[in-house]
Structure 1
Amino acid sequence: MQQKIRERLEQENRIEVENRVFWSQARIYNQLHPYGKMVSFGCFGFVFPSIEWEDIALLSQAEREDISRFLSPTSAQAEQPLTPPATAQAPTGTTGVRQLYHGVIEGDIDGKNRIDTLRCEFDLFFEDRVNEEGKLIVNGTYKYPRYGGRAITLSGTYDPNTDLLVLVEYYKSGKPNCTMRVQRTSYGFDGMFIRKNGQTLSLTMTQ
């Protein structure tokens, strides 16, 4: 049993240690923390762990959803990302075009002053209706297969005059988080992935 737990820990979690001259830190990466979270800090031989049980992923996202559905249908619904205000889901009867894109986010993803890449998958629906600014309404989801593939809600607009696609991601609380601003190209879209703290990464979306 302990061996299976250890195997699952290694399968669902990755811990990276950054060693400096006077200090070091450890960060955990999993489906709960796709961008990583610092869980330990060391200085002059002293180590200060800060990891919590909630930081560790033992189940895949599919397994978590199966258990939630088995225990309680309402709790299973709570696992899904909430709909942001107004335009997160296309209303019944709305027509439009569904587009799938392969995304690549590139930049200093984990804050280690090095260039990394993170792959994601987009499922977008370009509606046949516009907002008050004359921009097409876009809804959908995207996910990181590397971290369990939980679908994250997206809502935004596409300006046919400038070919600018703006998407905002929403987590379970319904509050906006990261923003994506990409321009249409011959192969899809290319532009910026802007984190809530203002950090800018590059984002390429291809079909």
Structure 2
Amino acid sequence: MAMVRRLSREEIASRIARELRDGSFVNLGIGLPTLVADRIPEGIEVVLHSENGILNIGPRPPAGEEDWDLVNAGKDPISLLRGGSFFDSSLSFIMMRGGHLDCSILGAYQVSDKGDLANWSMGAGDDLPGVGGAMDLAVGAREIWVMMEHVTKQGAPRIVSECTLPLTALGVVTRIFTDLAVLDVTSRGLRLREIVEGLDAQSLQELTAAPIALEGKQRPLHP
């Protein structure tokens, strides 16, 4: 494969932020998805939700101005926008389970071409003791978008035909954003929407362990 410029994690977050709909309620999962809070475009109102009981999260505060009593579910410092609110876990999970979130943006270890999601365990002995709120988010939000790098540090595909890691939920992922491409998960499998400049579809397929359909013209993926 020719050398291509992969998107940084921050650039993936910027691309996702441009896709968010004005007026939507969006959960940001732990890890990479929290970067999206810093990149909401001007003029777009998106109410960000955190599993630990916060609505209307703002961007990360500047270094030295953090309030460590104000953190998201991943214990990262956050700011709160005008009209923001706090509540207990029971109300937060009612929002998550009750279909009140338009979209949840989650990280993942693996995603299948059927939308199966594996994002809580690598199957190792030192993993978290349980799936936590990831399962509730995966089945409760109206749409599930995944944000991840296309392959592991060892070069293994994260997008597969069958997940081999412990599953979070079956058939829930609707869109995948990676450092190389944007793909939709459809009833017929994966459909390529955007691809980084300098990378052809065949080379992307070689990095993806599931078939990718090429329907119509693919747009270039920009940060």
Q: Same fold (TM over 0.5)?
A: no
Q: Higher relative contact order by CA 8 Å / sep ≥ 6: 1 or 2?
A: 2
More strand by share: 1
